[in-house]
Structure 1
Amino acid sequence: MHFDPQVVEAARSSMPKNLLALMDRAQGATDSGADDAIDGAGGFARRTFLKVTAASGFALGAFPLAATAQGAAAAAPAGLKPFEQPSAFVRIDADGIVTVTINRLDFGQGVQTGLPMILAEELDADWSKVRSVHGDANPAYVDPAFGMHITGGSGSIKNSYTQYRELGARTRAMLVGAAAAQWGVDASALRTSNGFVVGPGGKKLGYGALAEAAMKQPVPEKVVLKDPKQFRLIGKPTGRLDAKAKSSGRQDYGIDVRLPGMLTAVVARPPVFGAKLKTLDDSAAKAVKGVKAVLRVPTDRGGEGVAVVADGYWAAKQGRDALKAEWDNSG
């Protein structure tokens, strides 16, 4: 399978400079070999094309950035995997706002609320101050059961329930540790309640005031989770975090993103896994106003598809609809 150097160069000439820089940097890091062969002097490797097109939306700002990393003093235990470390999932601002990064897409099934609720339960956070953002392509945001980025199969809560409980419990332990250090008392003498660490005599410190110090605390590998009888969020009537924005039309979706020089690609995929193109007539697609390039691209399980790149979704879709493709399903 080969990418036509002319259409590749045409696509590159219309791409934003920062996307080109990402592709060139990724190209420099690719291994040599047949699978990474470069199509033409101005082209790029097949694997690089997939890697960068998958990641570029995040790098260009289509999704919120992940939570800020912990300070250098807060080294996570070697036994913790990336998806078990609070630094990638929890950000606490000075005003006490807790932002939870979710490892799924929300298609209306409610994980934008459900996963933060699970974490907030163990964290003992003030629910009125909890927010959520989507994660990116970072390995921390893979499905812990499958080890890949995936949303589907009713697996969001099933596979991440314990994960998010433990993330909340680890964050809570670090906040308690920071308060204990500040007050000079044993952590066992402290408790948490609704966004505060409560000490002897009823004195309190808010999570926002403790956040910076807490992120320098050691990350506990083992944590004790709540008895479900203690739950105050899980299983209780709780408003969705995204309800207001979605019901008022203020929610931004991927299709709403507009960036300078941004292009949109849609892919014509084979009818079965592994199928390759036998013939392709893309002349009508290229004639659609706004279409910049038509590219043959690898798809899942060794298959082949056709990406239509245009200056907007509608032009890209019309271009895809105009393709005349015949597929070889024998492979």
Structure 2
Amino acid sequence: MLNKLNLLRNEIDNLDLKLLKILSKRFELVKKIGAIKNKYGLPLYDPKREKDIINLKKKEAKKIGISANFIEKIFYRIINQSYSYEKIKIFKKIKPNFLKILIISYNKNISILFKEMLAITGYDVFYIEEKKININKINYLFKKIGMIILDVSKTFFEKLIKKLVFLPKNCILIDLSPIKKIFMTKILKIYKGPVLGLYFLFNYKKNLLFKESIIYCYGRKEKHYIWFLKQIEIWGLKIKNMNIIEHDKYIFFIESLKYLHTLMYSIFLLKTKISLNKIFILSKPVFKLNSLIVKNFFSTNPQLYFYLIKYSKNNTQKIKKYLDYINNLVILVNKEKKIKIIDIFKKIKKLLVTNKEFLF
């Protein structure tokens, strides 16, 4: 029996080795594809191609009696790994002779990521923290720049806004602020050159941005920076256009409520004197991820979260409505209105099923 078992295991080992060699050959082909994409300025991420591959492999799996869901998971992992092989040390530079790019920021992490992406693409980029700038002598930084990227605090912005009139003509101004109503609308009143709003929806700690998303809002003279949006796509980012009002509306649901919930949850832990260590020990991996979110939340400048929670249009009213829904649910639980609660569950389930392509 043991001999037969060992023979079968050896056969499996040989097949595993063949799988590894096949994967190695696949990744070598992927590298060649990456070189071609770079040469012609094609995006790193191709969602249609990825979807077609997955669907085809699932159909083929069914024909030979293998779980389609299993094959889908495997090929997503293979494809995601393939993107890292496609990525090379430099991306195609759309504007070869573009002037210097200046980044001013209080959020060092995200700004350095932008700096690195621009630098490996071949652009001349200079980064400076807002706290190191003498606002009265800022004009010298504006000399011979083609683009300025701002990710600054509200306090610094109020000092900077009057100085924007000294930017070179047609210098592209990019605003990275989370709430466009606060910053971008004021910029458009003062600065008459090209203005673009961006808001990143990705983890700045990543060194590969494929499949990550970024929202962009046209401000003024978009023909001057359409090329930059194409450059971002070449990096592998998914870009989505919104106007300023729509942007702030959805950022409330994407960011503000998330941060408010994290703050409320943390206050509850603090007031009830629960041991965080015991929670962590008893938690499943998914809760450990939640714990990491809480940790990251309190390692960031609290002013950013305050602006996100408070200053988006009608945020206070929306938060009150959100709390009303929580209170109403508590009332239903206290009154043991089981049928109504089950009905709420069914409605939410229907929403999730309707949007399963995006949620799962």
**TM-score in same-fold range (> 0.5):** no
Q: When you count strand as a share of all residues, which structure comes out higher?
A: 1
Which protein, 1 or 2, shows the higher relative CO under an 8 Å CA cutoff with sep ≥ 6? 1
Q: When you count helix as a share of all residues, which structure comes out higher?
A: 2
TM normalised by structure 1 equals 0.21
TM normalised by structure 2 equals 0.20
